[in-house]
Amino acid sequence: MTRPARVVLDAAALTHNFSVVRRCAPGAHIYAVVKANAYGHGAPWVAGVLSEAGSDGFAVACLEEAVALREAGIAARVLLLEGCVDDAELRSACALGLDTVVHCEAQLRALLAGGRVPGRALWLKVDSGMGRLGMDGAAARAAWGPLRALLGTDQSLGLMTHLACGDEPLDSYTDVQLGRFDALARALQAPLCTAANSAAVLAAPAAHGHWVRPGLMLYGASPLQGRSAAALGLRPVATFQSDIIAVKCLPAGAPVGYGRSAVTQRPTRLGIVAAGYADGYPRHVAAGTTVLLRGQRVALLGRVSMDMLAIDLTDCAAATHGDTVTLWGGGLPVEEVAAAAGTIAYDLLCRPAARVRRVVQGG
Ligand SMILES: *Cc1c(COP(=O)(O)O)cnc(C)c1O
């Protein structure tokens, strides 16, 4: 017997979402963002599928993630979004042929001292107003010439930034950031620019530049507030499921779960599902949060435990031991469960734990 908690992965949905990126940003190259184990979907699997689909490259948060891609046989360009943290990483990046980022003076000094640039592209990252990684305009102008002098003939220097309000399409702050970024790009005559995450791919064509960096939308979740993934033409790639491992009948007034925080309001048919917070289901969800069972929404009852959660089957007479329960994914948007848990889809997608099997649909 294997634990029934599983993430079912849909390669066709992933390929479809990638084609939406292509359609939205037809002139741009794509670094498909596969950091954090591809937002929990399995970076080797995602990179394999998207290599087939023709992704120009991949982007990761750290060297370990880049190594995992190379070990999985991914030969495409891989971008280290935060650059190298020390000289050892810089040497590894050279050996693995990784595109890198230089976002601060320390990285700049290390690159200049090392005397060579890894990969095909080096991205000078500027902080156009996010207040996270990146140099200010003056530092970037000073760094540009020395960095360009380091490049080999087959390498290019690009300008990079990250947008703070990409998820609010009408936010004028995106225009402020892009205005600063474009002015700097013109002043430096930067041959390459990259600014767009998923939200900007979908809602800010002016940000597309030469390379886009979509993450969330590839996995079929919406990066835009108030716009559903379905309305954006995106399909969920991961469906988090488990099975009912017990069914029981309780009288009205019976406590359910830890702390007796819930008490049945009526004679209740209770289902116990083999998925808890240690599997990645959020412990703090609002009362009345639902799962999907036989095409029907069914509400949780009581607290989520480490390995299990309870659902109210009273109004789902057909439900039985062994039934599949969808926690989020196909038929139950992850954004909805995220809202019920007071968080965002990004957070939930990354959560399914190591003990949760990944099963490729039809694979
Ligand atoms: C994570 C990340 C992205 C992808 O963002 P999404 O909102 O998931 O599309 C792009 N660029 C950088 C620098 C990132 O850290």
Q: pLDDT (tens digit, 9 = 90+) per residue, 74-126? A: 999 999 999 999 999 999 999 999 999 999 999 999 999 999 999 999 999 99
Q: Out of 62, 80, 81, give the residue to mutate to test ligand 1, the one with the largest number of ligand atoms within 8 Å of its CB.
A: 81
Query: What average pLDDT does the structure give for the chain?
Result: 96
- For each of the chain's 363 residues, which pLDDT tens digit applies? 689 999 999 999 999 999 999 999 999 999 999 999 999 999 999 999 999 999 999 999 999 999 999 999 999 999 999 999 999 999 999 999 999 999 999 999 999 999 999 999 999 999 999 999 999 999 999 999 999 999 999 999 999 999 987 666 557 888 999 999 999 999 999 999 999 999 999 999 999 999 999 999 999 999 998 999 999 999 999 999 999 999 999 999 999 999 999 999 999 999 999 999 999 999 999 999 999 999 999 999 999 999 999 999 999 999 999 999 999 999 999 999 999 999 999 999 999 999 999 999 976
Q: Is 117 within 8 Å of 92 (Cβ atoms)?
A: no
Q: Whose CA is nearest to atom 4 of ligand 1?
A: 215
The share of the chain scoring above pLDDT 90, in percent, equals 95
Place of tokens 């979402």: 17
DSSP reduced 3-state for 119: coil
| Residue nearest atom 6 of ligand 1, based on CA coordinates | 215
Residues in the chain: 363
CA distance 50 to 32: 8
Active site residue 173: no
Identity (one letter) of the amino acid at 186? R
Q: What is the pTM of this model?
A: 0.96
> By C-alpha distance, which of 46, 23, 27 is closest to 36?
46
Query: Which ligand 1 atom sits closest to the C-alpha of 214?
Result: 9
Q: Would residue 258 show up in a list of annotated catalytic residues for this protein?
A: yes
Nearest to 6 by CA among 330, 347, 299, 257: 330
Q: How many CB atoms lie within 10 A of CB 312?
A: 23
Place of tokens 């990066």: 223
Q: What distance in Å separates the CA atoms of residue 311 and residue 328, rounded to the nearest whole number?
A: 15
